């Protein structure tokens, strides 16, 4: 927890939540847990000021009101920008990661060379949303490990659920406390954290599915049948098209890379829809699969199935079971 007066010492240059007085080289991903708006703003201002003084490109990925106050305090600058989507505001994890990479390119092109992000991650109202936020916070430690980036994620203990705050200690390698920067004693690398993250059963799965297909003979058959199910249960045509594109790619992965038979289930009720695609193979071993295309920016090489699923469905779970591998996708119907 941040002490009463660390920002004043920060402004004297004694402590830098971006990584210390020495210029950091790789990815610095730090956590600050605050207790209310005053500590939030003072901590944020200190972090931003240190970055501007160092010549970093500073990105504000927080509430609009906070971003406006910080922009007013420091004045208009080319190196101070607002991009709320990096903190999952109106964007899913693959898009947030893509935006971060583009901002890194912009920082390099502008001559600053280093990107600094003030973030306040947005978590959903339930454990499904929390799980996706936890995954994103953990995955960036592997995916951006060599990036010239300092990120400070500020968690307000008064506004966030205790379970969400507790998880932050495990997903951030560094912690900013009243005594300065330190290694998080509870940090877990993505290879462990993501592998051990509990994945509970979706509540809809306790009811009868609206669609069941076992040992589907061809990919074309499965794509067609899933399209018909989604047409019946997802009223918005654009949303329906997105969901169908993603499940079609996951089905293609099962046929091309998995072990047959391939099966599928769909549950739909009230305002939510859940779809699972299963095969008898071992599945994907990479714990950060799908946060970016498998072959980088060259989309012509494929490898987009899980990436599209994470982009187009709210939640994607990779379930390894004794009888095979399942990709479970869930999202609102509207």
Cα separation, 11 vs 103, whole angstroms: 26
* pLDDT higher than threshold 90 for residue 10: no
Q: pLDDT tens, 69-99? A: 999 999 999 999 999 999 999 999 999 999 9
Q: Which of 314, 315, 128, 327 is nearest to 239 (CA)?
A: 314
Which whole number is the average pLDDT over 201-212?
95
Instruction: Give pLDDT, residue 15.
Output: 40
Instruction: Give pLDDT, residue 296.
Output: 66
Tokens 């280093």 — which residue? 114
Instruction: Fill in the DSSP letter of residue 198.
Output: -
Cα separation, 152 vs 144, whole angstroms: 14
20-to-17, 45, 179 alpha-carbon distances in Å: 7, 16, 12
- Extract the tokens encoding 282: 């071992």
Cα separation, 172 vs 165, whole angstroms: 11
Instruction: Give pLDDT, residue 7.
Output: 34
More confident residue, 230 or 293: 230
Query: Are β-strands 272-279 and 263-269 bridged in parallel, bridged antiparallel, or unpaired?
Result: antiparallel
Tokens 């047409």 — which residue? 231
* pLDDT higher than threshold 50 for residue 278: yes
Cα separation, 319 vs 328, whole angstroms: 7
Cα separation, 116 vs 271, whole angstroms: 38
Cα separation, 55 vs 150, whole angstroms: 13
* pLDDT higher than threshold 50 for residue 226: yes
Q: pLDDT tens, 19-57? A: 444 445 689 999 999 999 999 999 999 999 999 999 999
Instruction: Give pLDDT, residue 131.
Output: 94
Mean pLDDT of the chain: 90
pTM metric for this prediction: 0.89
């Amino acid at each position: 927890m941040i002490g009463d007066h660390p920002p004043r010492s920060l402004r004297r240059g004694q402590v830098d939540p971006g990584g210390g007085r020495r210029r950091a080289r790789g990815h610095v991903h730090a956590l600050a847990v605050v207790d209310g708006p005053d500590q939030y703003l003072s901590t944020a201002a200190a972090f931003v000021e240190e970055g501007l003084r160092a010549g970093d490109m500073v990105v504000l990925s927080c509430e609009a009101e906070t971003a406006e106050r910080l922009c007013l305090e420091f004045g208009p600058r080319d190196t101070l920008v607002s991009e709320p989507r990096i903190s999952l505001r109106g964007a899913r994890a693959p898009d947030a990661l893509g935006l971060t990479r583009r901002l890194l390119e912009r920082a390099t092109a502008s001559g600053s060379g280093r990107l600094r992000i003030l973030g306040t991650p947005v978590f959903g109202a339930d454990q499904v949303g929390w799980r996706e936020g936890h995954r994103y916070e953990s995955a960036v430690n592997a995916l951006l490990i060599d990036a010239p980036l300092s990120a400070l994620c500020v968690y307000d203990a008064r506004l966030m659920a205790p379970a969400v705050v507790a998880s932050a200690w495990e997903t951030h390698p560094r912690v900013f406390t009243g005594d300065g920067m330190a290694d998080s004693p509870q940090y877990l690398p993505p290879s462990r954290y993501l592998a051990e993250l509990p994945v509970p059963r979706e509540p809809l799965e306790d009811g009868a599915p609206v669609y069941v297909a076992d040992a589907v003979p061809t990919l074309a058959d499965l794509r067609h049948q899933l399209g018909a199910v989604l047409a019946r249960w997802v009223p918005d045509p654009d949303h329906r098209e997105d969901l169908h594109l993603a499940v079609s790619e996951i089905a293609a992965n099962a046929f091309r890379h998995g072990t047959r038979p391939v099966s599928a289930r769909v549950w739909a009720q009230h305002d939510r829809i859940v779809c699972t695609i299963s095969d008898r193979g071992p599945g994907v071993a990479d714990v950060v699969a799908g946060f970016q295309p498998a072959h980088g920016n060259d989309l012509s090489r494929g490898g987009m199935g899980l990436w599209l699923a994470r982009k187009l469905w709210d939640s994607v779970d990779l379930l390894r079971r004794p009888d095979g591998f399942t990709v479970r996708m869930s999202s609102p119907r509207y």
